[in-house]
Amino acid sequence: MATVNPRRALVAISLATGLSLLGDTTLYTVLPTHTAVAGVLVGDVGILLSANRFIRLALNGPVGVVVDRWPRRRIFVPAVFLGAVSTALYALDQGYWPLLLGRLLWGLAWVGIWIGGNAIVLDISQADNRGRWVGRYHVSFYLGAAAGSGLGGFLTDLLGYHWAMGVAAGLALFGALFAWLFLPETALLRGELRARQPAEPTRTPGRPRAQMRTAMTAAVALLGVNRLVMAGILFATFNLFLAQRLGETVIIAGRQVGVATLTGLALGASTLISTLSAPLAGRLTDRLGERWRVAAGSLLSGAVGFVLVAVGTPLTILLGLPLTSAASGSNQGLSTALTGDLSGRSRQGRQLGVLFTVGDLTSAIGPPLAYNLNKFVSLEMIYLFSAGLLGLVFLLVLSLALRQGHGQLLEPVI
């Protein structure tokens, strides 16, 4: 059987994934202030920016099933090419309907990229190195998102909206070509691994199927709550929170800094911390052989971070935000690794589809939930509510960690 180089596969999907995100995150950054040149109304922005998430909710499950049945390349490579096409639509045309079509195509593309890419990572990894491989791949997600926001905004100011989107489309096309040329088919590696180790998680006598469902529910809840409180609540309201607590401007080192600038710096630093925490947490779980305990610690860190942010002084915000950011990157990577641990190799795609559907749903409902709750309670209370949600999942994950320590969980968990 042909040999597959796991590192080559990881580099190919990471580069393609990161570059594919540039157009999407650039659009989030610049469309609200460039509606005229894009040919849309200000009232259309919310629909356009969320359209890709709604199509992902419908397609994650079906695409996950297809990923299990087809070779991985047949899903991932066309998806990254489609992502480049969607970005090219932003660059080449203007008006509501072309832009909406581009957003819907991007939603379809991202489903194939993210489920297919994570499935490839599960293919090239095993239980004792899955945490670090998943963490490394998720670095490409955070770097692509950060680069799109920073580089996309800079290029828009320098070259204009359409040319900036053209550059993003060109880079996405480069990533797609790189994946087409260098990504090996990891179905071959799946076959080799299947011959060397059990294809399905095994149960020892007396361990009920309910334990498997509980463990999978915890893995899904880990991502779902993480996306709800971070992407859905904190990122959507942090600008308003800082304005309420600190005012429209802040004196830093003798200079006035606008709250928008301060928010951008804080959320940019948050993304950087998440970029670092994802692979570090994964490596730690591989070294300790205890993924659930590391997840429990990450959830506790996030809960404490939200409490500190809710206190609302400059010092507690400065201490709390890095804790929430580290938890965010860790939780996202660990939820994917745990899904790989708990899924048989023939069902990894559909389980990833369920996982990412929940993540997309919670991140989509987070902003309207937060702003509607804010009509009745303060943002401080909403952040404490977020801490409570993380605390509830912490208790569930801690119970699984304690069972694992006593040999009462399904094997192999890691």
Please give the torsion angle defined by the CA atoms of residues 389, 393, 399 and 404, in that order, rounded to the nearest 10 degrees: -160
CA distance 71 to 370: 41
CA distance 414 to 71: 25
Looking at residue 253, what is its pLDDT?
A: 60
Cα R_g (the chain), whole angstroms = 21
Determine the 3-state secondary structure of 343 from DSSP. Answer: coil
- C-beta pairs of 157-161 under 8 Å, 24+ apart in sequence: 160/37, 161/30, 161/34, 161/37, 161/38
E strands in 210-287: 249-252, 255-258
| pTM of the model as a whole | 0.83
Looking at residue 389, what is its pLDDT?
A: 97
User: pLDDT for 279-296, tens place per residue?
Assistant: 999 999 988 888 999 999
Looking at residue 405, what is its pLDDT?
A: 57
CA distance 83 to 247: 40
Tokens of 400: 């699984």
CA distance 377 to 24: 33
> DSSP characters for 232-246?
IIIHHHHHHHHHHHH
Which of 186, 193, 134 lies closest to 344 in space, CA to CA? 193
User: pLDDT for 203-215, tens place per residue?
Assistant: 444 455 667 788 9
User: pLDDT for 21-49, tens place per residue?
Assistant: 999 988 887 887 788 898 988 778 878 88
How many helices and strands in the chain, by DSSP H and E? 15, 2
User: 210 versus 381: which is more confidently predicted?
Assistant: 381
Is residue 30 packed enough to be buried (19+ CB in 10 Å), middle (13-18) or exposed (0-12)?
buried
Cβ pair 140, 85 in contact under 8 A: no
Is residue 249 packed enough to be buried (19+ CB in 10 Å), middle (13-18) or exposed (0-12)?
middle
Reply yes or no on whether the pLDDT at 411 is more than 50: no
Is residue 381 very low, low, confident or very high in pLDDT (cuts 50, 70, 90)? Answer: very high
Is residue 201 very low, low, confident or very high in pLDDT (cuts 50, 70, 90)? Answer: very low
CA distance 138 to 278: 7
Residue whose token pair is 């804790």: 323
Looking at residue 157, what is its pLDDT?
A: 84
Reply yes or no on whether the pLDDT at 1 is more than 50: no
Residue 225: C-alpha distances to residues 43, 82, 141, 301, 394 (Å) = 29, 30, 19, 14, 11
Looking at residue 251, what is its pLDDT?
A: 65
pLDDT-above-90 percentage for the chain: 47
Lowest mean pLDDT among 92-101, 163-172, 260-269, 385-394: 260-269
CA distance 357 to 58: 8
Domain ranges, ordered by start, for the chain? 6-196, 209-405
CATH number of the structural domain 209-405: 1.20.1250.20
Question: What are φ and ψ of residue 255, in 5° steps?
Answer: -120, 145
Quick one: average pLDDT of 71-94? 93
Neighbouring-strand partners of residue 258: 249
Neighbouring-strand partners of residue 354: none
Cβ pair 208, 387 in contact under 8 A: no
Residue whose token pair is 């090219």: 88
CA distance 383 to 306: 6
Amino acid at 97: W
Determine the 3-state secondary structure of 256 from DSSP. Answer: strand
CA distance 285 to 277: 12
Is residue 190 very low, low, confident or very high in pLDDT (cuts 50, 70, 90)? Answer: low
**Average pLDDT of the chain, as a whole number:** 85
CA distance 319 to 326: 12
Question: Do 6-196 and 209-405 fold alike per CATH?
Answer: yes
Looking at residue 409, what is its pLDDT?
A: 46
Looking at residue 68, what is its pLDDT?
A: 85
Q: Domain 6-196: which topology?
A: Growth Hormone; Chain: A; (1.20.1250)
CA atoms within 13 A on the CB side of 384: 9
Quick one: average pLDDT of 124-150? 87
Looking at residue 186, what is its pLDDT?
A: 86
